[in-house]
Amino acid sequence: MKVVIVGGVAGGATAAARIRRLNEQAEIVVFERSGYISYANCGLPYYIGGVIEDKEELTLQTPESFYNRFRIEVKVFHEVIGIDPPDKTVTVRNLKTGEVFEEKYDKLLLSPGARPFMPDLKGSNSDKIFTLRTVEDTFRIRDAVDVRKPKSAVIAGGGFIGLEVAENLIGRGIKVTILQSAKQLMNPFDADMASLIHAEARKHGITLLLGHSVTGFEERDDKISVFAEGTNPLLTDMVILAIGVTPENALAKAAGLKLGIKGSIVVNEKMETSVKDIYAVGDAVQVKHFVTGKDSLIALAGPANKQGRIAADNICGGNSVYKGSQGSSIIKIFDLTAASTGISEAAARQNGIDCDKVVLSPMNHAGYYPGGKTMTMKVVFEKGTYKLLGAQIIGYDGVDKRIDVLATAIRANLSAIDLKDLDLAYAPPYSSAKDPVNMAGFMIENIANGLVKQWFVEDEPALPRDGSVNLLDTRTAREYAGGHVDGFINIPVDELRERLSELDQSKPVYVICQSGLRSYIATRILCGYGFQCYNFAGGYRFFEAVRKDRCLIEKTTDCGMDDLKTKKR
């Protein structure tokens, strides 16, 4: 059996090695148009910033090491330019010599990946404009930084690549502005959670221009002007385009393979395309979303590796299936860690799912153990069924392990209430006896049992200030003086029973505290005295972060908090 693989990196290289492990006699040929067969794609931004100092560390395998270990023939700087399915041949161009030749195959695996989206904009061919996909792209950007010594950079796009490059350029002493057409960074996160990411970016000197689409470029002397809707031109030394990626589908399209979303390659659960004996994996393929069951594009290294292994199994006569992607991801943003899995609240609503959520701010480990830090968790679930839909966590230590627990729970089809029963490891340096994941489950159980009703950030503007409802802040007088929501009166939770007469029992009570715990206790006290109560999800800390961020994006001072500019946190 002869297997030809188009493209290396995550999907193609994984498949090649797996095929060899399953079939020692197979002839395996890999064509890669770049100069690198297997490299640390996700590590590329960190070479630009000097965090990874040796460029050789980016290379996981070379053609020589791949051949020595697996007896796989790897031809870099070779671009496959055509497929003839009936004849089972591919046409290949040697990019160094220009030679064009044909290669026969019994099985063909396509792993072309995705290319950076390049809008057709005036001036976009400038040598001061860069994209980041390959090792060669990384070297070009690093060389430009080392040689030209730019003082400023504009990054168009606020996803994973945009933020990671921004952080690394800041580390090189470069002033960075991020332009983003959406009014938030990091689309996997809901806007309220993204506000915490925005705050961290601004804290480290990144200028955020959100809600502005790039419209063109113009070179001016040694600089370049970036034009965008709704804002003045930005004069900068270099531009990184990280607007997004689009499936690399030219080969598949020309060969008549069935295409799906944004021209992606349609495959079945065995990673087979619509044409017999041709498989496809990685960022170029359309997959089923594990949570929604709908066709999706999820360009992440983890799914690509798994797909490569599954395709290899089936090429070798196995019966492996890919059960879908759920988009589990994590990113370092300066001192913060931000992670998500499943779908966001916004995505759930876009998919017509009636959902609910809890927001909590637990410590990463026992509060009495030194070094504890707060994380913010948002868990999204379906109303009625309590199906676990997704989660987002932003914080410091311990974010990664909690998101992985939640990702596993989704994959295991646990309900959101089941989170309370998970038996998770505990010791004071690592967690609390009630782990944050368990706490989310307890909160959701309280909602299911009718013990808690919630109100959210988006409800605040509509809350009446005419006395028709009780607005209650249960923090200490000192916390309240440091900033509070307009119209809320202050009764600390420990004084509440003695001061019930200050509230009108005939009217509902909307309660808030710093994190959501004291306000929950207050609602239970009040319910015991016959009040109808609503607890704020996330606490004042979360409310303040979201509203400040929205005001900065909209450039307004009407943030719904008394004397916002003069109050100290």
Q: What amino acid positions are annotated as catalytic residues?
A: 42
Closest alpha carbon to 509 in 531, 481, 536: 531
Closest alpha carbon to 525 in 547, 508, 500: 500
Taking phi over 0 as left and psi of -120 to 50 as alpha, with beta for the rest, 277 belongs to left
> What's the CA gap between 63 and 40, in Å, rounded?
15
| Main-chain dihedrals φ then ψ at residue 510, nearest 5 degrees | -105, 120
- Helices and strands in the chain: count of H runs, count of E runs: 14, 33
Cβ(471)–Cβ(484) under 8 Å?
Answer: no
Cβ(6)–Cβ(250) under 8 Å?
Answer: no
Structure-block tokens of residue 499: 């001061």
Structure-block tokens of residue 310: 């599954």
222: Cα separation from own chain's centroid: 35
Using CB atoms within 10 A of its CB, is residue 450 exposed (0-12), middle (13-18) or buried (19+)? exposed
- Residue partners of 512: CB distance under 8 A and separation at least 6: 472, 473, 474, 485, 488, 519, 536, 539, 540, 543
Q: Are strands 388-395 and 376-382 parallel, antiparallel or unpaired?
A: antiparallel
Closest alpha carbon to 227 in 132, 128, 127, 154: 154
Closest alpha carbon to 178 in 158, 196, 159, 160: 158
Q: Are strands 285-288 and 295-296 parallel, antiparallel or unpaired?
A: antiparallel
Cβ(160)–Cβ(331) under 8 Å?
Answer: yes
**Buried b or exposed e, range 250-266, using 16+ CB within 10 angstroms:** ebbeebebebbeebbbb
Cβ(219)–Cβ(126) under 8 Å?
Answer: yes
> What's the CA gap between 376 and 362, in Å, rounded?
7
Cβ(415)–Cβ(386) under 8 Å?
Answer: yes
- Residue partners of 486: CB distance under 8 A and separation at least 6: 465, 560, 561, 562
> What's the CA gap between 478 and 236, in Å, rounded?
45
Structure-block tokens of residue 522: 């207050």
Amino acid found at 557? T
Using CB atoms within 10 A of its CB, is residue 471 exposed (0-12), middle (13-18) or buried (19+)? buried
> What's the CA gap between 130 and 120, in Å, rounded?
14
DSSP 264: P
The span from the first CA to the last CA of the chain, in angstroms, equals 67
